[in-house]
Every structure is written in structure tokens, then in C-alpha cells.
Amino acid sequence: MSSVGSTTSSSTSSANAGNAVITSTGIGSGLDISSIVTALTNAYGAAQTNELSSEQTTLNAQVSAFGTFSSALDTLQATLSSIDEPSALAAYSATVGDTSIASATTDSTAVPGSYSLEVQNLATAATLTSAPVASGSSYVGTGTLTLTVGSASTSITIGSTNDTLSGIASAINGAADNPGVTASVIATTAGSRLVLTGTTTGASNAISVSESGGDGGLSSLAYPADGDTGLTQTQAPEDASYSINGYAATSASNVVSGAITGVTLNLLSPSAAGTPTTLSVSADPATAATSINTFVSAVNGVLSAIQSLGGYDATTNTAGPLNGNATLESFQNQLEGILDDVQSGNSGGVTSLGDIGITADANTGQLDTDSGTMTDALSANITAVGNLLGGTNGIATQLNTLINQYTGPGGLLSSVNQGLQTSLTQVSQQQTALQAELATYSATLTSEYNAMDTAVAALKETQTYLTAEFDPNASSSSGSSSSSTSSLGSGNLGT
């Protein structure tokens, strides 16, 4: 009975061990099933994972590269507006002999010329001043003041809250429909005075003030004055009077446009009687040269972008992300064709960029400029330079058309980017599908290894049982041990 009891105990223990193996992956076989499944899954998907990752990296690099290229084209196109019209490049400057009399600026419509300028008087705005009162806080009166400048007017109500000299000044300045009058209070030895000043010069901008209602105190601010009371005109509004080449002219403003084609005069002070000053309008090569040099820098920026994005570095054996790209190569070929264009029909001896000092460096591929040659060409015939760069067939015009084909709505770069984005979406979908496939593969391996692990656990259980049944020594030893244990456990009780 003792032997049977030992066997039963051993079988029960083995069964319990088998159950533990089933709930703890790898216990039965002693294998790290999780690591094995992970390694096999990674190996199974490695080639396709690496291929998709590499393709994604390449596509992202191309998207970034075309963004860089597009930015360089935008920079170049922004410089074309200053040279794509002959008149825009043909800049002129205006110089006044006596800078205390006037200054002058020009626009693209100016033409060379020399003029005499004499200023008789400047344009002025009207100024009205009141009789003095004790202070700015002195009471003046109540009622309605109506201010008129030219054809514009407004009415201002003066009551108990603004019936002082300072209050009236604030009411005028704060009027919503102020016709063009500012009001201030000045302190003099005789007392405080209200001063009204027109904001616009010219004889047509006279100020008039009338009053009505109230206590009649506002009559002291009327103009023209009614009797001995009222405002005094201390500065009459006048037009500027000047002469060009001896011919008289007037202007309501001291800033005079249209007197000379393309020239704006800023009259500063009257001339000494009978002493005109000179006004010279001449070509300004420096401004034109700045515009051209800015254009050249932008072209070099595009050329550098093409070289870095589409080139190959033999030293590092590294190709640019757009190396061999047909879109980039096509633009480069067309750009070089435009820059090399020779316009034999252009007058003035300016038929190519080389004639204005712009040449290509054979080593770098960049454009170089010879400032001396450029200045000479601009000084000799700025119109011919403008015709080379601007106008219907000008280099800048051709470049503008070319760039629009690439960067405009629906242009080539837009189509290229859409294609790249579509490819990136497809790669992402393939990566998602691959992950799902690998997850299924991993689950299948895990199931198979767990089944193997359970089978190994069952075999070990059987081994333990058979060993107990067919190894008498093991059974006897087990029984003796059990008996001894029982005796020891109960001996003292028997005694």
C-alpha cells in the first residue's frame, strides 16, 4: 500500500507540472519561445522591410530636393520684375543744384534732360488765431461751431463740458467729420490763444468758422469776423508758385508731380529773386547694375541647386537625390539655352549677356560679372541693355515663362510632387500590409511552438511515471523515505 501511495503521489505531482508547462510558454521544452519567434519573424520580413524603408527614404529625399529646387526658382523669379521691362531697368536719377530749394525723385518714365528751376513761394495752409483770454481754462461760450474747409464742413456742439478754450480745442480735434483743421492753445504774454491750422495746403483750402445758438460767446471764434470780434487769419492759404525753364506754374502742394515727365519735385524754400537752380535728370547705372547683379546671384542660386541635387561627388562617391532626374536635366538645358541666347537684332551693340560683362565660369558653371564692362554698357546705352533683358523676347521674359511652366498652378513640379506623394502613400500601405502579414506569421509560429512545448511537457510527465514504475530502487527508496518520514512524524505519539 505504501508503494501504491508513492506512485499515486508521484503521478499527481507530474500532472501538476504538466499543467504548469501549458500556462508558461517554454517551461516544458526549456526554450525561449518568444525570442525564437521574434527572430524568425524579423528574418522572414527583413528583406521586404528594408526594401520598403529604403524606397521611403529615397522618395522623401526627392520631395525635399524638389522643394529646394522650387524655392530657388521662386527666388530667381522675384528678381525678374526689376529687369523684365526695358523701362524698369532704365533707371534715372534727378539732381537739384541747390538742395535747399528743392529735391527730386524719378520713376521709370523719366527721360534725360536739364532744366532751370526757380521757386517764388511755397504752398501754405491757412492759420486762424483768436484774441487772448486769461488761460486755456477760461470760459468762452456755448452754442454750435461750424467749421468749413473748401467744400467740406462739420458742426460741433459746445456745452457746459467743453466751453473753455482748451475744451473747444479738444472738441474740434475729436470731431468725427473734421474737414481738415487742427486746434491748439498757445500761451503768450497777452494770454492764451486758440490757433486753427489747416491740414492741407493750397489756395482752395481756406478755413471759415461760423457760430449759432447758445449764449453768443462763440462769436469770438467766428471767421470771417463779425465786427471787431472773431478770429484773425494769420496765414493765408496759398498755392506754390515756381517756374521751370522760365515758365510759371502753380501747385496746391509742395510735392509736385507731373511738371516734368517721370519727375517728382519736393519744394523746400523760395529761391533768391532771379536766381534759378539747375535740375538734371540722367541715367543711373548704379541702380540698374544692382538689379542685374541681384538677378545674377539668383541665377547662380538655381545653378548651385541643380549641381548639388542632381550632381555626383566623385570624391565621396555620393549622388544627389535627383541625380539623373529628367525634369531637372530638362530645366537645366533650357536655362542654359536662354542664358546663351544671342539677340543679333538688338540695337546698340548689346546682343548677349557677355556684352554686359556676364560670363559663365568654365570650372564652377556659375555666372561671373565684370563690373567695369557692365558699367560701361549701362552708361553707353542703358536702353539696349534693357531690351536684351526685358521686352517680348528678353532674357528675363523667357526665364519668367520657363519658370511658370515648372512652378505655376498645374506646372511640372506640381505634377512631380503629386506623383511622389502617391508613391509614398503606396509604400505606407505596403508597410501596413507587411506588418499585418508578419503579425499573422508570428502568431502562427507562437501557436506551433506552444503546441511543441505542451507535447514535450507531456513526454516528460510520462517519463517521470515510467521511471517510478520500472525502477524498483527508486520506488523502494521513495517508499522507505516515505515510511521513515511517517515514523518520525508519529513515533513520539506511539510511545
Lowest mean pLDDT among 22-26, 255-259, 398-402: 22-26
Cα(290)–Cα(437) distance, integer angstroms? 63
Are residues 354 and 255 part of one domain? no
Q: Of 385, 408, 431, which residue sits at a domain end?
A: 408
Chain segment 116-126, per-residue pLDDT in tens: 999 999 999 99
State the DSSP H helix or E strand holding residue 55, giving kind and residue range, or none if neither: helix 33-80
**What's the pLDDT score for residue 194?**
97
Are residues 105 and 251 part of one domain? yes
- Quick check: helix, strand or coil at residue 232? strand
Chain segment 94-109, per-residue pLDDT in tens: 999 999 999 999 987 8
Cα(478)–Cα(472) distance, integer angstroms? 9
Are residues 346 and 319 part of one domain? yes
Inside any domain, residue 476: no
Are residues 343 and 197 part of one domain? no
Q: Is 121 exposed, middle or buried (0-12, 13-18, 19+ CB in 10 A)?
A: middle
Helix axis angle, 33-80 to 395-407, nearest 10°: 150
Chain segment 36-67, per-residue pLDDT in tens: 999 999 999 999 999 999 999 999 999 999 99
- Are 196 and 127 in contact by the 8 Å Cβ rule? The answer is yes
Q: How many Å separate Cα 120 from the centre of its chain?
A: 50
Are residues 250 and 117 part of one domain? yes
Q: Of 408, 427, 450, which residue sits at a domain end?
A: 408
User: Residue 206 to residues 132, 195, 269: CA-CA distances in angstroms?
Assistant: 23, 14, 22
Phi/psi of residue 216, nearest 5 degrees: 85, -5
Phi/psi of residue 193, nearest 5 degrees: -130, 145
Q: Does residue 480 register a pLDDT over 70?
A: no
Are residues 258 and 194 part of one domain? no
Inside any domain, residue 37: no
Position 472, amino acid: P
Chain segment 305-314, per-residue pLDDT in tens: 999 999 888 8
The residue range of the domain holding 395 is: 81-87+286-408
Average pLDDT over residues 393-406: 94
Are residues 304 and 389 part of one domain? yes
- Are 254 and 122 in contact by the 8 Å Cβ rule? The answer is yes
Q: In this prediction, what percent of the chain has a pLDDT beyond 70?
A: 90
Are residues 379 and 279 part of one domain? no
Inside any domain, residue 296: yes
Are residues 395 and 345 part of one domain? yes
Are residues 403 and 294 part of one domain? yes
**What's the pLDDT score for residue 344?**
83
Q: Of 218, 235, 252, which residue sits at a domain end?
A: 235
Inside any domain, residue 74: no
Inside any domain, residue 107: yes
How many other CB atoms are found less than 10 A from the CB of residue 185? Answer: 19
**What's the pLDDT score for residue 26?**
65
197 DSSP assignment: E
Inside any domain, residue 330: yes
Domain count, the chain: 3
**What's the pLDDT score for residue 495?**
32
Are residues 162 and 272 part of one domain? no
